[in-house]
Structure 1
Amino acid sequence: MMTNILNISHELLPEILSNLSDAVLIIDLHTKKIEYCNHATEIIFGYKEQELIKQKINLLYLNNEVYQQFIQQLTIATKFEFQMQRKNGELFVANHFYLQQEQKMVGIISDINSLKILKQQLQDYDAKLTVSNAKLSQASRFKDELLANISHELRTPLNGILGITNALQEGYYGNLNNQQINLLHTIAESGNKLLTIINDILSLAKIEAGKVKLDISSVMIENIGNVCQRITSKLAHEKNISILNTSYDEITVIQADERCLKQILLNLFTNAIKFTPDGGTVSFTVCGYPEHEAVDLIVSDTGIGIAKKDMELLFQPFVQLDGGLTRNQSGTGLGLSLVYRFTEMHGGSITLESEVGKGSTFTISLPWQPPTIDNKFNKNNLTQIHQQDKVILLADDNLMVIKILSTFLRSKGYQVVIAYNGLQAIEKTIKIKPELIIMDIQMPEIDGIEAITTLRAKDIKIPIIAISALIVVGSKEQCLEVGADAYFKKPVSLTELEITIINLLF
């Protein structure tokens, strides 16, 4: 049986060797001459068989020096990579595998030059990709910095406009007639619309860069719902749209980022009203599912509805559907994109049910955890407190901000001392020992971060409220980390500021 197999193998061997893609050589160890080569050897090296037989193996190497290196390599290993030469002078890299028996050596040679070239091309491509990624990363950082700086430059004058408008509306500069009140309302409305657009663009840019961190706390959902209804009530009234009584299903508190949740609901309310014809209705419902630890926030309308083919496009940024009422509505097309992103960041989901001509229902499903409320005060529970003996140091280099905040604080009975840079803030804190400090972050001489760090290093435990118009990822966390007790983004809500001051002082 074995003899038959060997006979068959011997008969097939020439055919096997002639069909191999690797070169096979039989070499005399004593003379180093080639005694046999297969057809692949002719293809790889470019020689005819008769040109190779009885020729020394060094014919296949660049020169004698390289050949001697090859001989040396044979004494070290039986399998290795080495450079060889074709008949036309072209050099290439080949895998060598040699077996020795008595005075013969069988060599199997694989042309891996194409693989080597491909590998080098891949390495070059990888290197270029690394450089491109580095450039993209750098461009992304530049973009973030540019957006932050643009935000600062846009917000600074806008803060002044909104701050003064707010102070005038609150009557801090005296009584106003009806015409003045209406004009101030228009200024505030236009300013807030511009601020919303700026915030939307910046929010989306930061989300896409993965640089938005949620500030999860206990949120009074009814308060958020009421605020959103109040903000959109004028738009609803203009179109004679009824906002139906809201049902909260006995749910008072949910765990969420209050700012993001407010933006989610405000965008849904605004869209529902904008795309509902005159005389329609909008409703907001909150449903809790304790067994699933989930809560649904549902905004429904009797608007124009959305076709199924358009639903996937709806949550993409800068997309506005073309049809009916949509052609007459202004906007950036960012609202629902932000709703989707903020919901996703909360670990929630958004579903849409809609029928063209009948209306739409957006359902935001969020994780629901047991509520905890730790605020000592809220907007509806401001205690009358004697503040005449309390000194607040206000550190800011923006004269408009100083005027707005100092006027507001003095109207509440506080004594106000001004510092125009971080260095003055440190010096005046040490000298007068105020009860509280309001510290701007972007100031000359020494910025707010360094000033807070210095004060805390001196073991000064006075409460500090940091304020900033520069929107940079992690700025709030950085301020709190160096020792600030609270953080506000400009324009500062005067009511929220008052609540925070009371919480810190009393």
Structure 2
Amino acid sequence: MIFGLALVVIGFISAVIARRITRPVNEIIDVSMDLANHRYYSRITGQTSGELQDLSMSVNQLAQSLEKQMQEIELNQQRLSGIVQNLVSGIMLIDQRKLIVMTNPMMEQIIGEKGLTSKAYYEVLKSFALTQLVDRCLEQKTPQQEEITIYFPRELILDANASPVLSKTGNITGVILLLHDITEIRRLENVRSEFVANVSHELKTPVTALKGFAETLLDGAMYDEELLKKFLTIIKEESDRLHRLIMDILELSRIEQKHVSMNLEQVDVEDVVVATMDTVRPMAATKEIQLISPNLATPIVMQAERDRLQQILINLISNAIVYTPQKGKVTVGVTENIANETIVITVKDNGIGIPVKDIDRIFERFYRVDRARSRHSGGTGLGLSIVKHIVESCGGQVQVESVEGSGTTFTVTLPK
């Protein structure tokens, strides 16, 4: 009886001891499994003692460290993803199977297609040159760079860079393709080159004339009073043209760089038009051209800088006079659009008109439809470009309609 009772007591004590040992062990196992399954928030909460307590503390410290590291990794991934997604360059990651692993929105915009992942790069890159660039990178395991022009979905000039992704053993595991759109940069470079070439040519013409006539005078022509007067007149005209050219270049530069301050005031538009016509009337009189000014029933007043408005009108009206034949007609109209709160100024002539192929280019610097006539009239080729920049700096727009052989109409719309 006593022996039996002792066995029961021993069994109970053994069960209690076993539970105190196995429960913490099971909890440690469960937490370890949670960590293995990326549940880094899991912790051991049971009370233990001795070696089990040390083991529990170590597991909790490990879990805390892993959780902190994973939070930092996730934060870095978010930052990296934000940078990649907002880059102005297109990025494409290609694995060793030649499949696309990742792209950013700019790459999709350049390629003209979405959902590129898991597709073969040679099916997506609709450019033989781009495909060859990636192929060389995969074969040679070295970075490749090339300037490539693509024509689909639209024509673009790209700075293409392909860089290999290498493992520690030197084996290639993928390629990073970086595409940067440099179309606008190349266009601006061409504009700059054309501008420098045009400026050089336009400056060279009067300078050559000045030099030539001065040398002729020094060689003895100065003693001929008639030739002296004629050559000095030409030298003065070319000097004036050179001065106008330099002033127009400086003016255009100031406007483009927005260094021109606007001193706005209440301006009577009809009054400015009439004053401008009086300025160019002698020029029109030499060709017997009729200048027709607006005849408004009520004054139209707008917020503007009088000098800038007059500069716009002088360029447009004088341009119309140049390209209108003898006894022609130049008409200036002014209307007010109350709904849009804008003022519309039109300058219409019945001159030679502008060919369709030239209309899109007439606002370019130094562009002339009739170079011989413009140069003979003393034009610099910058007048319409100056008009366009002044109008746009005032928040307006300038448009042109023309029929070759019938005349041209320039329409300037300015906010009131």
Shared fold by TM > 0.5? no
* Structure that is richer in helix per residue: 2
TM-score range, shorter chain: 0.3 to 0.5
Could you tell me the TM-score, scaled by structure 2's length?
0.43
Larger radius of gyration: 2
